């Protein structure tokens, strides 16, 4: 199973849609332990990303994701802009000028993106940041692939691991970012960036869920008769 560039574009569109749907939640979480702008930061950034998708036909995966990363870095002022921007820039740098990724290529690109966030933000697991969702997600994808699962199943496991990692940030004391200024008072709140990262992997799982998901996204974009479930796995 390979991932076509159209599915990666679908991933970005789905991430935008989830960020916009959850904008108020992301902002509410950031109002508890930050400055109440994570929802607007992510919505502004992903809206800018998707607007550019309309304008230019992206031919290769590396060019697509380098463009996404630069757009996020330049359109989002908060910490999350450079961090997600670096994630996508490194993702793109890892793939080379291809139009599809196999499972190993997707895994390597996600791992490279994660490495970029670590290098840029200098946070570790347990610091109550987006890494607490991203690290378990990328690890879960790799474990599932190593166990012989296909990308649809592996990305679903990555999404579940990201959501569990997000939930596990609640009791943590923040050691990086604005929330760390609160010290012990940062405990008892879910981290906003871990919440948006869980959406990133939820979007990936939806984009890779197979032909049924593609049909669903087509009918969502252009309302029409409901399509029958696809019997192929």
**Could you list the residues that contact ligand ADP (CB under 6 A)?**
30, 34-35, 37-38, 41, 78-80, 83, 117, 121-123, 129-131, 176-178, 191-194
Dump the DSSP string for 31-83. HHHS-S-HHHHHHHHHHHHHHHHHHS---SHHHHHHHHHHHHHHH--STHHHH
Among 224, 121, 110, 119, residue whose Cα is nearest residue 180 = 121
- The binder of 56, among Mg ion, ligand ADP, none, by C-beta within 5 to 8 A per type, is none
Three-state SS sequence of 200-232: HHHHHHHHCCCHHHHHHHHHHHCCCCCCCCCCC
Q: How far is the CB of 40 from Mg ion (least distance, A)?
A: 9
Give me Rg for the CA atoms of the chain.
17
Q: Judged by CB under 5 A, how many residues of this single chain contact Mg ion?
A: 6
- Binding piece for Mg ion, criterion CB under 5 A, among 77-85, 103-111, 113-121, 143-151: 77-85
Work out the burial of residue 129: count CB atoms within 10 Å of its CB; fewer than 13 is exposed, 13-18 middle, 19 or more buried.
buried
- DSSP state, 16? H
Q: How far is the CB of 10 from Mg ion (least distance, A)?
A: 28
Nearest residue to ligand ADP, by Cβ distance, number only: 193
- The binder of 131, among ligand ADP, Mg ion, none, by C-beta within 5 to 8 A per type, is ligand ADP
- Binding piece for Mg ion, criterion CB under 5 A, among 53-61, 78-86, 183-191, 216-224: 78-86
**Nearer to ligand ADP by C-beta: 7 or 39?**
39
Is position 6 an interface residue for Mg ion (rule: CB under 5 A)?
Answer: no
Read off φ and ψ for residue 38, nearest 5 degrees. Answer: -65, -40
For residues 26 to 65, the per-residue mask of contacts with Mg ion, x marking binding by CB under 5 A and - elsewhere, is ----x---xx-xx---------------------------
**Nearer to ligand ADP by C-beta: 82 or 92?**
82
| Cα angle: 8, vertex 10, 11; to 5 degrees | 65
Contact footprint for Mg ion (CB under 5 A) = 30, 34-35, 37-38, 78
């Amino acid at each position: 199973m390979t991932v076509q560039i159209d599915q990666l574009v679908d991933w970005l569109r789905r991430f935008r849609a989830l960020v916009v749907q959850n904008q108020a939640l992301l902002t509410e979480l950031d109002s508890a332990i930050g400055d109440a702008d994570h929802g607007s930061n992510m919505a502004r950034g992903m809206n800018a990303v998707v607007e550019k998708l309309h304008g230019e036909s992206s031919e290769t995966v590396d060019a697509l994701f380098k463009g996404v990363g630069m757009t996020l870095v330049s359109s989002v002022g908060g910490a999350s802009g450079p961090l997600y921007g670096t994630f996508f820039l490194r993702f793109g740098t890892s793939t080379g000028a291809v139009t599809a990724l196999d499972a190993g290529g997707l895994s390597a690109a996600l791992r490279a993106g994660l490495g970029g966030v670590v290098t840029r933000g200098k946070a570790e697991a347990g610091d109550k940041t987006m890494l607490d969702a991203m690290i378990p997600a990328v690890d879960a994808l790799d474990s599932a692939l190593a166990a012989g699962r296909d990308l649809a199943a592996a990305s679903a496991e990555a999404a579940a691991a990201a959501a569990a990692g997000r939930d596990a940030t609640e009791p943590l004391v923040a050691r990086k970012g604005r929330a760390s200024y609160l010290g012990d008072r940062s405990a008892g709140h879910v981290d906003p960036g871990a919440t948006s990262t869980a959406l990133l992997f939820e979007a990936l799982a939806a984009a890779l869920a197979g032909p049924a998901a593609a049909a669903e996204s087509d009918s969502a974009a252009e309302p029409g008769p409901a399509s029958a479930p696809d019997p192929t796995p």
